[in-house]
Amino acid sequence: MLDALALNLAGIPMDIISWRKAVTLWALGRAEILASYEDRFIHSPRLTLAMPSVVQCLDVRSMPRNFTHVLPLTRRNLYGRDGGLCVYCGQKISLSSFTIDHVIPRSQGGKTSWDNVVTACMHCNNRKGNRRPRPGEIDMLHEPFVPRLTHAAPRNLVEKLSFRAPPMAWSTYIYWSVALPPKPHANPVRAGHHGGHAPTHRLSYDSPVI
Protein backbone atom coordinates (compact mmCIF):
# COMPACT_ATOMS: atom_id res chain seq x y z
CA MET A 1 0.00 0.00 0.00
CA LEU A 2 1.48 3.31 -1.04
CA ASP A 3 0.76 6.22 1.20
CA ALA A 4 0.76 9.94 0.76
CA LEU A 5 2.22 12.55 3.03
CA ALA A 6 -0.41 15.16 3.87
CA LEU A 7 0.67 18.73 4.55
CA ASN A 8 -1.41 21.47 6.06
CA LEU A 9 -1.98 24.80 4.36
CA ALA A 10 1.28 26.11 5.83
CA GLY A 11 3.22 23.21 4.28
CA ILE A 12 3.85 21.41 7.57
CA PRO A 13 3.59 17.62 7.36
CA MET A 14 0.55 16.58 9.36
CA ASP A 15 -0.19 12.94 8.66
CA ILE A 16 0.35 9.92 6.48
CA ILE A 17 -2.80 8.99 4.59
CA SER A 18 -3.68 6.32 2.05
CA TRP A 19 -3.40 7.20 -1.61
CA ARG A 20 -7.15 6.57 -1.88
CA LYS A 21 -7.86 9.24 0.68
CA ALA A 22 -5.38 11.57 -1.05
CA VAL A 23 -7.17 11.10 -4.36
CA THR A 24 -10.55 11.62 -2.73
CA LEU A 25 -9.42 14.89 -1.14
CA TRP A 26 -8.01 16.01 -4.48
CA ALA A 27 -11.21 15.08 -6.34
CA LEU A 28 -13.24 17.06 -3.82
CA GLY A 29 -11.01 20.08 -4.35
CA ARG A 30 -9.78 19.89 -0.79
CA ALA A 31 -6.18 19.03 -1.60
CA GLU A 32 -3.56 19.84 -4.15
CA ILE A 33 -1.19 17.15 -5.39
CA LEU A 34 2.41 18.29 -4.90
CA ALA A 35 4.20 15.09 -5.91
CA SER A 36 3.29 11.69 -7.31
CA TYR A 37 4.76 8.23 -7.59
CA GLU A 38 6.13 8.29 -11.10
CA ASP A 39 5.62 4.61 -11.81
CA ARG A 40 2.19 4.08 -10.25
CA PHE A 41 -1.00 5.08 -11.94
CA ILE A 42 -4.67 5.02 -11.04
CA HIS A 43 -6.99 4.26 -13.90
CA SER A 44 -10.64 5.12 -14.05
CA PRO A 45 -12.98 5.26 -17.05
CA ARG A 46 -12.42 8.99 -17.31
CA LEU A 47 -8.84 9.61 -16.30
CA THR A 48 -5.44 8.20 -15.57
CA LEU A 49 -3.70 9.78 -12.63
CA ALA A 50 -0.27 9.27 -11.19
CA MET A 51 -0.65 8.07 -7.61
CA PRO A 52 -0.13 11.02 -5.28
CA SER A 53 2.78 10.86 -2.83
CA VAL A 54 2.52 14.34 -1.30
CA VAL A 55 -0.65 16.37 -1.00
CA GLN A 56 -1.36 19.71 0.58
CA CYS A 57 -4.71 19.94 2.29
CA LEU A 58 -6.17 23.28 1.35
CA ASP A 59 -8.66 23.41 4.18
CA VAL A 60 -6.37 22.37 7.03
CA ARG A 61 -5.10 25.49 8.73
CA SER A 62 -4.49 23.98 12.13
CA MET A 63 -0.96 23.40 13.32
CA PRO A 64 -0.02 20.17 15.03
CA ARG A 65 1.02 20.59 18.65
CA ASN A 66 2.74 17.47 19.75
CA PHE A 67 6.05 17.20 17.93
CA THR A 68 8.76 14.59 18.29
CA HIS A 69 11.78 13.52 16.31
CA VAL A 70 12.34 10.09 17.82
CA LEU A 71 10.53 7.01 16.61
CA PRO A 72 8.82 5.18 19.50
CA LEU A 73 10.66 2.09 20.67
CA THR A 74 8.35 -0.78 19.84
CA ARG A 75 9.08 -4.36 18.97
CA ARG A 76 8.12 -3.78 15.34
CA ASN A 77 10.20 -0.63 15.00
CA LEU A 78 13.22 -2.28 16.57
CA TYR A 79 12.86 -5.14 14.12
CA GLY A 80 12.73 -2.63 11.29
CA ARG A 81 15.72 -0.69 12.52
CA ASP A 82 17.87 -3.80 12.63
CA GLY A 83 16.76 -4.95 9.20
CA GLY A 84 15.08 -8.19 10.31
CA LEU A 85 18.44 -9.71 11.11
CA CYS A 86 20.24 -10.99 14.16
CA VAL A 87 22.86 -8.27 14.61
CA TYR A 88 25.35 -10.84 15.89
CA CYS A 89 25.26 -13.56 13.23
CA GLY A 90 23.37 -11.82 10.43
CA GLN A 91 20.76 -14.55 10.18
CA LYS A 92 17.27 -13.58 9.06
CA ILE A 93 14.87 -13.66 11.97
CA SER A 94 11.11 -13.36 12.05
CA LEU A 95 9.15 -10.59 13.68
CA SER A 96 7.31 -13.09 15.84
CA SER A 97 10.33 -14.99 17.08
CA PHE A 98 13.23 -12.59 17.42
CA THR A 99 14.63 -11.87 20.83
CA ILE A 100 15.67 -8.50 22.20
CA ASP A 101 19.21 -8.35 23.47
CA HIS A 102 20.33 -5.69 25.92
CA VAL A 103 23.89 -4.86 24.86
CA ILE A 104 24.62 -3.78 28.41
CA PRO A 105 22.57 -6.32 30.39
CA ARG A 106 19.78 -5.08 32.55
CA SER A 107 21.46 -6.70 35.53
CA GLN A 108 24.33 -4.30 34.98
CA GLY A 109 22.15 -1.25 34.70
CA GLY A 110 21.49 -1.43 30.95
CA LYS A 111 18.31 0.34 29.95
CA THR A 112 15.60 -0.74 27.54
CA SER A 113 16.31 2.14 25.20
CA TRP A 114 17.09 2.54 21.52
CA ASP A 115 20.80 2.88 22.24
CA ASN A 116 21.05 -0.32 24.24
CA VAL A 117 18.85 -2.91 22.52
CA VAL A 118 19.31 -4.93 19.36
CA THR A 119 17.53 -7.83 17.68
CA ALA A 120 19.12 -11.23 18.10
CA CYS A 121 18.33 -14.81 17.28
CA MET A 122 17.73 -17.12 20.22
CA HIS A 123 21.05 -18.85 19.73
CA CYS A 124 23.14 -15.67 19.84
CA ASN A 125 21.15 -14.25 22.72
CA ASN A 126 21.76 -17.40 24.73
CA ARG A 127 25.41 -17.45 23.74
CA LYS A 128 25.95 -13.87 24.84
CA GLY A 129 23.94 -14.49 27.95
CA ASN A 130 23.65 -12.11 30.78
CA ARG A 131 27.08 -10.62 30.44
CA ARG A 132 28.77 -7.67 28.91
CA PRO A 133 31.33 -8.85 26.37
CA ARG A 134 34.78 -7.33 26.41
CA PRO A 135 35.40 -4.65 23.78
CA GLY A 136 35.96 -6.28 20.43
CA GLU A 137 34.85 -9.70 21.63
CA ILE A 138 31.70 -9.96 19.53
CA ASP A 139 31.08 -8.50 16.10
CA MET A 140 27.84 -6.72 15.40
CA LEU A 141 26.23 -5.72 12.13
CA HIS A 142 25.79 -2.25 13.56
CA GLU A 143 25.66 -0.53 16.89
CA PRO A 144 22.32 0.26 18.41
CA PHE A 145 21.24 3.77 17.57
CA VAL A 146 18.32 6.10 18.09
CA PRO A 147 16.25 6.56 14.92
CA ARG A 148 15.83 10.30 14.80
CA LEU A 149 14.36 12.63 12.25
CA THR A 150 16.40 15.68 11.42
CA HIS A 151 13.37 17.83 12.08
CA ALA A 152 10.64 17.19 14.57
CA ALA A 153 7.33 16.12 13.08
CA PRO A 154 3.88 15.57 14.61
CA ARG A 155 3.93 12.57 16.91
CA ASN A 156 1.02 10.82 15.18
CA LEU A 157 2.90 11.04 11.88
CA VAL A 158 6.16 9.77 13.34
CA GLU A 159 4.33 6.87 14.95
CA LYS A 160 2.95 5.87 11.56
CA LEU A 161 6.32 6.06 9.88
CA SER A 162 7.49 2.85 11.46
CA PHE A 163 11.08 2.22 10.55
CA ARG A 164 11.24 2.70 6.87
CA ALA A 165 12.92 4.98 4.45
CA PRO A 166 10.31 7.54 3.46
CA PRO A 167 9.58 7.71 -0.28
CA MET A 168 11.91 10.06 -2.13
CA ALA A 169 9.17 12.61 -2.62
CA TRP A 170 8.84 12.97 1.16
CA SER A 171 12.49 13.77 1.66
CA THR A 172 11.84 17.48 1.39
CA TYR A 173 9.73 17.19 4.51
CA ILE A 174 10.92 14.12 6.42
CA TYR A 175 14.31 12.56 6.69
CA TRP A 176 16.30 10.54 9.15
CA SER A 177 19.33 11.99 10.82
CA VAL A 178 21.19 8.71 10.41
CA ALA A 179 21.64 6.35 7.51
CA LEU A 180 19.18 3.48 7.62
CA PRO A 181 20.72 0.04 8.01
CA PRO A 182 21.76 -1.65 4.81
CA LYS A 183 19.37 -4.12 3.29
CA PRO A 184 19.59 -7.69 4.57
CA HIS A 185 22.96 -9.10 3.72
CA ALA A 186 23.86 -12.67 3.04
CA ASN A 187 26.86 -12.53 5.33
CA PRO A 188 27.41 -10.50 8.45
CA VAL A 189 29.57 -7.49 7.99
CA ARG A 190 31.28 -5.42 10.57
CA ALA A 191 29.47 -2.19 10.26
CA GLY A 192 30.40 1.14 11.69
CA HIS A 193 28.39 3.84 13.36
CA HIS A 194 24.87 4.49 12.18
CA GLY A 195 24.62 1.15 10.42
CA GLY A 196 26.87 2.98 8.10
CA HIS A 197 28.92 2.46 5.07
CA ALA A 198 32.38 1.72 6.35
CA PRO A 199 32.41 -1.91 7.46
CA THR A 200 35.57 -1.52 9.47
CA HIS A 201 34.44 -0.85 12.97
CA ARG A 202 34.47 -3.47 15.64
CA LEU A 203 32.07 -2.51 18.33
CA SER A 204 33.47 -1.43 21.61
CA TYR A 205 30.85 -1.94 24.24
CA ASP A 206 32.39 0.88 26.24
CA SER A 207 32.20 3.40 23.49
CA PRO A 208 29.34 5.86 23.73
CA VAL A 209 26.47 5.20 21.43
CA ILE A 210 24.81 7.89 19.40
* Footprint of Zn ion (CB under 5 A): 86, 88-89, 121, 124
CB of 82 to Zn ion, least distance (A): 11
Query: How many Å is the Cα radius of gyration of the chain?
Result: 20
Distance CA 170, CA 175 (A): 8
CB of 10 to Zn ion, least distance (A): 47
Q: Which is nearer to Zn ion, 111 or 123 (CB)?
A: 123
Q: Which is nearer to Zn ion, 36 or 125 (CB)?
A: 125
CB of 104 to Zn ion, least distance (A): 18
Q: Which is nearer to Zn ion, 121 or 161 (CB)?
A: 121
3-state DSSP assignment of residue 76: helix
Element (H, E) at 54: strand 48-57
Composition of the chain by helix, strand, coil, percent to 5: 20, 25, 55
Q: Which is nearer to Zn ion, 122 or 168 (CB)?
A: 122
CB of 48 to Zn ion, least distance (A): 48
- The string over 176-191, giving b where at least 16 C-beta atoms fall within 10 Å of a residue's C-beta and e elsewhere, is bebebbbeeeeebeeb
CB of 74 to Zn ion, least distance (A): 21
Q: Which is nearer to Zn ion, 139 or 159 (CB)?
A: 139
